[in-house]
Amino acid sequence: MKYSFFISFIFLIFISNITFSQVKNDTLLTVVGEKVIVSVKEITASEIKYSYPNEALLNGMKKSSVAEIRFGSGRVQKLHKFLNYKNVSTGKDWENVSISNVATEVEGLVKLGDVSAKAEGTTEFSSVAKLQARVYDKIKVQSAMLGGNVAFVINQTAETMSSSAFSSKAANAIMSASVYSSKVINSADIHYGTYSISHYYLLRSNEAKIKTKKFAVAHQITISEDRINLNGRQPGIDIKFSDITNGIEKMNIISSTPSQLVLSYVKSTSRGKKTYYNIILTKIVQ
């Protein structure tokens, strides 16, 4: 009798484990294409509450950040459209950067930083419209150097030329913006191996022209999983280049393909002037 009871007890545990293991998780697909495996607990007017598999802690994600929910049952609930911004791999892709004045267009995107630019006329005939176009280009180039493909305008001003008997002021245009990326780079997207490093792109403060520079000494580096710094929203690599940095610094990974890895780094002076760098790593085929 006791033996039969024991066998029945073990059988029930076995069946319970099978049933539990067959429970399928839900998947949140963000507007930038990121997949998050979760168990959805509640959907409110503004938020999706969920827990991660085998965890009890409740988390929340803005509903505006999620394109669709794929439930374990097979049902799909569509919330928003996937964003279709153009790709930016380096600062050279600056023309692919979109300028936005609508806050909802950047909800759910990855914020990379803030940029600002100014253009000033040199003569009394300087057009404010042309100055604004120059500022837009500068904002786009800075954004691309950070790996962003969307610049959300925070503030912009434009002034025409003014003069008096004692002074004159040239026409100018000023803009500041927050930089966002519609793509999420995870450690799983990085192609590990040995890379050669011979050149980098350089953008100086308030300029619009990117310069290509060669390192004084060519480098080789092996990228492995344990070298990836996952602190912050962007994965990066802690590294030193004597041509650029004084010590070891984290450089963010802004693009990863089977043949190329691109790092982004910003150096700031005590006066707030920024110099932007893109370091190009080329995969060595073994």
Q: Which CATH architecture has domain 91-181?
A: 2-Layer Sandwich (3.30)
Q: Give CA–CA dist 180/113, Å, rounded.
A: 7
Residue written as token pair 């780079």: 185
Which pLDDT band holds residue 84 (cuts at 50, 70, 90)?
confident
pLDDT per residue as tens digits for the range 6-64: 565 565 555 555 544 556 899 998 887 788 899 999 999 888 999 999 888 999 888 88
Cβ atoms of residues 151 and 178 within 8 Å? yes
C-alpha to C-alpha distances, 277 to 81, 146, 233, 251, 262, nearest whole angstrom: 33, 8, 19, 9, 10
Q: What is the pLDDT averaged over residues 2-8?
A: 58
pTM for the model stands at: 0.77
Mean per-residue pLDDT for 210-232? 91
Q: What is the mean pLDDT of residues 106-111?
A: 87
Give the C-alpha distances (Å, rounded to integers) separating 215 from 5, 242, 278, 284, 285: 76, 9, 12, 18, 21
β 98-100/150-159 pair status: parallel
- Does domain 25-82 correspond to CATH entry 2.40.128? no
CA nearest 263: which of 242, 284, 247, 249? 249
Please name the CATH architecture into which domain 187-283 falls: Beta Barrel (2.40)
Confidence of residue 67 (pLDDT cuts 50, 70, 90): confident
Q: Which residue has the higher pLDDT, 65 or 72?
A: 72
Q: How far is CA 47 from CA 61, 79, 106, in A?
A: 6, 12, 17
Q: Where are the domains of the chain?
A: 25-82, 91-181, 187-283
The CA distance from 219 to 239, in Å, is: 12
